[in-house]
A and B are shown apart, each in its own frame.
Chain A
Amino acid sequence: MTVLFGLRLGRWGLAGFTLTGFAWNLTQTVGFYQVVGHSAAERAAFGASIATLAARFTALVPPPIQPETVGGYVEFRGFHELAIIFSVWAMFAATGFARGDEERGIVEASLAAGARRTALLASRTGSFAIAILVASAASGAEFGIGVASGGETVDPRRVIEVCALLVAIRLASYGIALLVAQLATARTAAASAGIVLLALFLLNSLSRSFPSLSTWRWLSPFRYYDLSQPLPPGGNFDLRGFAGLILVAAITVAAAAAAFERRDIGESLIRVPARDRPPVYDPIAAPWWRIPVVRGLYDRRLGLVVWAIGMGAVAVMFAALTKSIVQVLLSVPSLLPYLSIFIHTQVYPAVLGYTWFNFAELLVAAFAIVQVARWAAEDTDGRLEMILSAPISRSALVVERMAILIVGVALIAAVSAAALLYASHVNGIDLDARRLFAASLMLVPFCLVFAAAGSLLTAWNPRAAVGLVAAFAFASYLDTELGPIFKLPLWLQDLSAFKLFGMPLLNGVDGRNLALLLLLAAAGVGSSILLMQRRDVGA
């Protein structure tokens, strides 16, 4: 019964991620047959171009095996990226149960109804296991459908193996997040689990570029995932790696259960004793709480600092990796024709600009979604009702939210640009500072498009807003990825913020694209103001 209850609570995550996995793999598989070509020479050329692409992303995903085959291509573009996306799902599911449900009183009510703590934790883990089995099966089934659409066949055993790997890595991520959530405070559980999982992910992926890290990569579950690539011809399924993932999941879930048994509900296992202090009866006198926009930025200060430092650190990592990646690529004669598109300018700045801004777009889209989640939470937990009981108009509220987001993302973009500029200088890569800052500021209207869509969706239905804006961002990304492959109409491709962002460091800021981004954002904000005026709050 509690397993079903867990599935009921996580139904939106299950539906969303199953659909995401299905759509992602389907478009990758069908897209493969659109672009791979027909002759052996065309396929080989395609495989070489994918290898070039893969080399840019070795810090994220392992290099592909035989990317000129559907198995090799979809393993690289589909399943590897799904493993990252679904690990994020595992993290939110685990921390949502461990601490979120506690905050909402669900855990307390379950324990009061007679459930044992270990049984409760086991049942919720079981719910998640069922959910990921369904989502992984959907991803695998789609791969079979996509391959059949291309007139080829696939060994079902290979598909089962790749799905089993997806299940195992998500279970391991879930177990780790569950354990961290027992040790951290409710406030920091999701962030702490995210940091730990990111660190483990980077430990493995950076060990491909920094050999000194390879002695420690056994600590990362992602290492055991990387040992297998079952889909391409000549690929392998490493049974010991798979067993390693299951072992990590089992140990961490067991440790989390032991910690859950020992800690107080609402508290973390590791608890810092509160200091004695006299009671406070005065409100804070600081002037920033009275200044519109500034008060919102101050309220979000911790999150903004974490985002700025995080993006800055990633920018530094990209700058540090660029030379070694490009040098490896230049040493492969067959890749030189593909690199020539960069060499007519300056190869290092060009590659760095391309890779960094591709990744920064994803991070900034995620930042927008996080802000939308906050607006939706304000609506559902009653804060909006309280805010609107102050003499502030609804349109002013929407405008202030947008202004806070603009200043926040501009700050993050500026910090990451400064970090990239400094790190590239240290690594001997000569970036044009003016163009870099202009390109970084282009992230602001890019972010505003997703935020405006989120604002509109929050005004319409706050409970569904986060999932819908994430789906919008995903569709926007697919649009730019698949638009050229499926020859979608230009106007349709231009609806994608990812397409409109372009490559401003390489080509400069495109005025038309900037205007379109601003137009899309203005349409979203305007519509959300109109909708906000009409809707009931707290009803």
Chain B
Amino acid sequence: MALAAIRTSSLTKDYGRGRGLFELDLQVAQQEVFGYLGPNGAGKTTTIRVLMGLIRPNAGSAYIFGLDCVRDAVDVKRKVGYLPGDVPQFGSLRGSEVVAYLGGMRGGVDRKVVRALSERFDLDLGRRFREYSSGNKQKLAIVLAFMHRPDLLILDEPTSGLDPLNQQEFYALLRETREAGATIFLSSHVLSEVEHVCDRVGILRAGRLVKVADLEELRRARARHDLVGTEPSLEEFFLSFFGEGKPKQLPS
């Protein structure tokens, strides 16, 4: 049996007052694209930060390619490309300097890959970070996550701030990366994005994993769900799943 790319067992990070992540049992196979869905505050970013060794779990364990995310954090990160939910501030550094700085820290970065990625997203690395628009900052974060051709990509809302054209380009990049043998774990609010690229999805609610299903299974379940006779989107299914069949309207 192949080693799981990600495996967690009873993983818990309790922030108190019901916030955090509780008893997460999850397995992501190698070369799988796994979508991690849930409303705000559900615990998606907490899961990702535990996997990255940035925060320590209160209980349970998390492994990436068989390596303990806490004990073997350095070795884990050699295999992982990470895109955080909030792009960090690099002030007056130029894009090329940010890439050189973090690439130098990481090692194993192929300049040709950086060039290909920045050309693909039309990201001018000669500009200072503070001059970048939010979309360009996100593009830089994508370059930083993919530049060393990692075995596993952990992406926290990766298309946030990207325009539709660049979103499509990003989906294409995900497909190519998966075909090249990488595993992808991405959190998202954008359900159409998950439909585009994911093999399986996990739905998180109030810190607990409430559903894991492959996309076909989810579509079938969605079709059976009180929307018979229509072609419900994953978004509609998601809203009905969380007890909000119709989007709320603003008071007039």
B154 CB → nearest A CB, Å: 9
- Tell me whether A156 is interfacial, beta carbon within 8 Å: no
Beta-carbon contact of B107 and A281 below 8 Å: no
A54 CB → nearest B CB, Å: 42
On chain A, the residues within 8 Å of B125 by CB distance are: 279-283
On chain A, the residues within 8 Å of B91 by CB distance are: 187
The listed residue with most A CB atoms (<10 A of its CB), out of B56, B86, B104, B109, is B104
Beta-carbon contact of B107 and A393 below 8 Å: no
On chain A, the residues within 8 Å of B107 by CB distance are: 290, 391
Q: Mark B116-141, 1 if CB is under 8 A from A, else 0.
A: 00110011111000100000000000
B96 in complex: contacting residue of A284, A386, A390, A539, CB < 8 Å = A284
| B46-54, B157-165, B183-191, B214-222: which lies at the interface | B46-54
- Tell me whether A226 is interfacial, beta carbon within 8 Å: no
On chain A, the residues within 8 Å of B105 by CB distance are: 295, 387, 390, 392
| A29-37, A449-457, A530-538: which lies at the interface | A530-538
- Tell me whether A261 is interfacial, beta carbon within 8 Å: no
Beta-carbon contact of B144 and A282 below 8 Å: no
- Tell me whether A186 is interfacial, beta carbon within 8 Å: yes
Given contacts A277-B126, A382-B87, A536-B54, contact A390 B111 (CB under 8 A): no
Residue of B nearest to A396 (CB): B74
Beta-carbon contact of A280 and B124 below 8 Å: yes
A103 in complex: contacting residue of B55, B86, B101, B130, CB < 8 Å = B130
- Tell me whether B73 is interfacial, beta carbon within 8 Å: yes
On chain B, the residues within 8 Å of A103 by CB distance are: 130
Given contacts A536-B55, A539-B49, contact A283 B74 (CB under 8 A): no
Beta-carbon contact of B54 and A283 below 8 Å: no
Query: What is the CA–CA distance of A261 and B15 in the complex, to the nearest angstrom?
Result: 45
Query: What is the CA–CA distance of A534 and B58 in the complex, to the nearest angstrom?
Result: 12
- Tell me whether B80 is interfacial, beta carbon within 8 Å: yes
Interface residues of A in 235-294 (CB under 8 A from B): 277, 279-286, 289-291
Beta-carbon contact of A284 and B100 below 8 Å: yes
B114 in complex: contacting residue of A187, A283, A389, A392, CB < 8 Å = A283
Beta-carbon contact of B126 and A389 below 8 Å: no
Beta-carbon contact of A283 and B84 below 8 Å: no
Beta-carbon contact of A187 and B92 below 8 Å: yes
- Tell me whether A299 is interfacial, beta carbon within 8 Å: yes
A101 CB → nearest B CB, Å: 14
- Tell me whether B252 is interfacial, beta carbon within 8 Å: no
On chain B, the residues within 8 Å of A387 by CB distance are: 102, 105
Query: What is the CA–CA distance of A291 and B80 in the complex, to the nearest angstrom?
Result: 21
Query: What is the CA–CA distance of A390 and B73 in the complex, to the nearest angstrom?
Result: 10
Query: What is the CA–CA distance of A279 and B82 in the complex, to the nearest angstrom?
Result: 26
- Tell me whether A385 is interfacial, beta carbon within 8 Å: yes
Query: What is the CA–CA distance of A389 and B80 in the complex, to the nearest angstrom?
Result: 8
- Tell me whether B97 is interfacial, beta carbon within 8 Å: yes
- Tell me whether B89 is interfacial, beta carbon within 8 Å: yes
- Tell me whether A426 is interfacial, beta carbon within 8 Å: no
- Tell me whether B16 is interfacial, beta carbon within 8 Å: no
A414 CB → nearest B CB, Å: 26
Beta-carbon contact of A282 and B102 below 8 Å: no
Beta-carbon contact of B104 and A391 below 8 Å: no
Beta-carbon contact of A386 and B104 below 8 Å: no
Beta-carbon contact of B104 and A385 below 8 Å: no
B123 CB → nearest A CB, Å: 7
- Tell me whether A388 is interfacial, beta carbon within 8 Å: yes
Interface residues of A in 173-228 (CB under 8 A from B): 186-187
- Tell me whether B176 is interfacial, beta carbon within 8 Å: no
Query: What is the CA–CA distance of A433 and B85 in the complex, to the nearest angstrom?
Result: 55
Beta-carbon contact of B96 and A283 below 8 Å: yes
Query: What is the CA–CA distance of A283 and B184 in the complex, to the nearest angstrom?
Result: 25
Beta-carbon contact of B115 and A282 below 8 Å: yes
Given contacts A187-B92, A382-B88, A390-B106, contact A283 B99 (CB under 8 A): yes
Q: Mark A510-539, 1 if CB is under 8 A from B, else 0.
A: 000000000000000000000000101111
Given contacts A386-B88, A389-B77, contact A283 B103 (CB under 8 A): yes
List B residues at the A interface (Cβ < 8 Å).
Answer: 15, 46, 49, 52-56, 73-75, 77-78, 80, 82, 84, 86-93, 95-97, 99-107, 109, 111, 114-115, 118-119, 122-126, 130, 144
22 A-B residue pairings within 8 Å (CB atoms): A187-B91, A279-B124, A280-B95, A280-B96, A281-B115, A281-B123, A282-B111, A283-B99, A283-B100, A284-B100, A285-B111, A289-B103, A295-B105, A383-B90, A386-B144, A389-B52, A389-B84, A391-B75, A392-B77, A393-B73, A393-B74, A538-B54
Beyond contacts A284-B97, A295-B105, A382-B84: 9 other A-B pairs, Cβ-Cβ < 8 A, are A280-B124, A282-B114, A284-B100, A390-B77, A390-B102, A391-B75, A392-B74, A393-B74, A538-B54
Interface pairs A-B: 10 shortest CB-CB: A382-B88, A280-B126, A289-B104, A536-B55, A279-B124, A290-B104, A389-B82, A289-B100, A381-B89, A283-B99
List A residues at the B interface (Cβ < 8 Å).
Answer: 103, 186-187, 277, 279-286, 289-291, 295, 299, 381-383, 385-393, 534, 536-539
